Amino acid sequence: MTAALSWPLQQALYARLAADEALSSLLPGPALVDSPPHDARDHLRPPYILLGDESIAPLADQTHLGARHRFSLTIHSAAPGFAEAKRIAAALSDALIRRPLALTRGTCIRLDFISGQTRRLDTEQRRELTLTFEAALEDS
C-alpha cells in the first residue's frame, strides 16, 4: 500500500471537474474548493463543490503497489429543494465516470460511484448532496 497517490488523485479530480463544460455551466465562477468558506469575505456562494474527506486502504490484490482511495465530493446549494444539487451531481458523476482519470503519478485502474446522501442544512433552503467514490490506484 502507498499513500503517495493521494495528491496526484486530488490534482486529477480538480483538473477533470474544473475543465468539464457541462459541470461548469451549472456552477458560477470558480466553484470547486478543498476548504469550506469561513465567512462572507471568502466570496463563495452556493452552488459550489467541496472536495471532502478521503480514506486510503491497500488494494485487495497484494501484487500491486497501490491503494483504494474512497473520497467524497459535497455539492452545496442554496436553491429551494434538491433539483439544483441533483443536476450538479449528475454532471459531476458523468465527468468522473465516463473516462479514466489522468494522474501525474500512477494509474487509475478503476473509479466507482459508491453512494450519495442528501441533507437539509437549515431553514434558509440550503441543501447538501454528498457523493462518495472509490478509486483503485496503482503506482507505476
Provide the mean pLDDT of the chain: 88
Average pLDDT on 121-135 reads: 88
Residue 25: domain span: 6-36+44-80+89-135
Torsion sign across C-alpha atoms 75, 52, 38, 121 = positive
The predicted pLDDT at position 31 comes to 82
Q: What is the pLDDT of residues 105-117, one digit of tens each?
A: 999 999 999 999 9
93, 73 in Cβ contact below 8 A? no
Cα–Cα distance, 34 to 36 (Å, whole number): 7
53 within domain boundaries: yes
Overall pTM surpassing 0.85 (yes/no):
yes
Per the structure, the count of domains in the chain is: 1
> Does the structure show a pLDDT above 80 at 91?
yes
* Residue 135 backbone phi and psi in degrees, to 5: -110, 130
Q: Please name the residue that has the C-alpha cell 450538479.
A: 88
1 within domain boundaries: no
Average pLDDT on 9-30 reads: 90
Question: At 97, which CATH number?
Answer: 3.30.2000.30
pLDDT band at 26 (very low <50, low <70, confident <90, very high): very high
The predicted pLDDT at position 3 comes to 87
